[in-house]
Amino acid sequence: MALLSILEFPDPRLRTVAKPVTEFDSELEALVENMIETMYAAEGIGLAASQVDVHKRIVVIDVSEEKDSPRVFINPTFTVIEHELQDYDEGCLSVPGFYETVSRPRRVLINAVDATGTAFELEADGILAICIQHEIDHLEGKLFVDYISKLKRDRIRGKLEKAHRKSA
């Protein structure tokens, strides 16, 4: 097992559109294990492969209280089953320290395959619905800061760039 390093906004690699997974092999299994370990170490509730500079359609999520129920979503898609929006103060491991309100559909039907290539579907609401939409955005090269004003986004970019210069 290994911890993977997480790209931070405004790194242009976060804008890469991820490709579907086609090989369900031990290499994929190892990557998924490392993503789960990295998500827990970073105290996140989700992680998309894009964030660790692997541009494949892989997401891990654990929204459980005990942090003992990791879920794996490969090639995930969703359809909205309740268009009513819910507001949530979102954060992102790739935008550390910043939280902004984002509105997303309240209830979605997720279609994905697991690490063995077996298809499944799952109805999601609450934080799971928010998180899967946030993670699928990452696979499309999209970040939650894209939903807020340019003024706020540029302010966050400036602060993170300054922090990156200091730690370089």
The contact mask relative to ligand GNR for 125-154 (x = CB under 6 A, - = no) is -----xx--xx--x----------------
Based on the shown chain and the rule CB under 6 A, indicate whether residue 104 belongs to the binding site for ligand GNR. Answer: no
Question: Residue written as tokens 């906004």?
Answer: 9
Based on the shown chain and the rule CB under 5 A, indicate whether residue 92 belongs to the binding site for Ni ion. Answer: yes
Q: Is 29 a catalytic residue?
A: no
Q: Which residues pair with 80 in a beta bridge?
A: 108
The contact mask relative to ligand GNR for 70-89 (x = CB under 6 A, - = no) is ------------------x-
Minimum CB separation from Ni ion for residue 50, in Å? 9
Q: Which does 47 bind (CB under 5 to 8 A by kind): ligand GNR, Ni ion, none?
A: ligand GNR
Structure tokens at 115: 């690490």
Q: Which residues, including other chains, have CB under 8 Å from residue 104's CB and lie 6 or more apart?
A: 85, 86, 88, 129, 130, 133, 134
Hey, how many other C-beta atoms are within 10 angstroms of the C-beta on 156? Answer: 19
